[in-house]
């Protein structure tokens, strides 16, 4: 049984998101949530909430046990980039790229 959840338009770049995602890939859900609570990265909170949401979906919608769930797939893709500009010296401008990401997680049942 696969349980999927998505986080869209998160205002953190995919490169920074992947640093956190690589820590929890393949772990059991309980251990992943505990690790994310103590990880000192800004992207750990949205990823933790996404995993908790997917776990709640598995429990409520499919009747699966939380202790048997593990993260089989989790990945971050690039979302639309917000482009700003700041004017610099001598009539130039400096582009500012505000990157965002889409995160998808798939939980599977070991039992």
Q: Partners of 102 in the beta sheet?
A: 77
* Partners of residue 28 on adjacent β-strands: 70
Joined tokens for residue 95: 């582009």
| Domains of the chain from N-terminus onward | 2-109 (3.90.470.10)
- Is 51 in contact with 67 (CB distance < 8 Å)? no
- Tally the residues of the chain: 111
Contact 33, 48 (CB under 8 A): yes
Q: Where are the beta strands (DSSP E) in 19-81?
A: 69-78
Say which residue the tokens 């939380």 belong to.
66
For residue 14, give the H/E element and its range.
Answer: helix 14-24
Q: What is the reported pLDDT for 110?
A: 87
Tokens found for residue 60: 């409520």
Could you read off the pLDDT tens digit of each residue along the chain, which spans 111 residues? 899 999 999 999 999 999 999 999 999 999 999 999 999 999 999 999 999 999 999 999 999 999 999 999 999 999 999 999 999 999 999 999 999 999 999 999 987
């Amino acid at each position: 049984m696969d349980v999927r959840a998505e986080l869209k338009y998160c205002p953190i770049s995919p490169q920074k998101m992947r640093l956190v995602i690589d820590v929890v890939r393949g772990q059991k859900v309980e251990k992943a949530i505990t690790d994310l609570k103590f990880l000192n990265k800004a992207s750990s909170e949205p990823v933790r909430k996404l995993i908790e949401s997917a776990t709640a979906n598995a429990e409520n919608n499919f009747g699966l046990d939380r202790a048997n769930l593990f993260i089989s797939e989790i990945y971050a893709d690039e979302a639309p980039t917000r482009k700003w500009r700041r004017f610099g010296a001598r009539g130039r401008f400096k582009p500012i790229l505000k990157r965002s990401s889409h995160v998808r997680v798939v939980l599977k049942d070991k039992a």
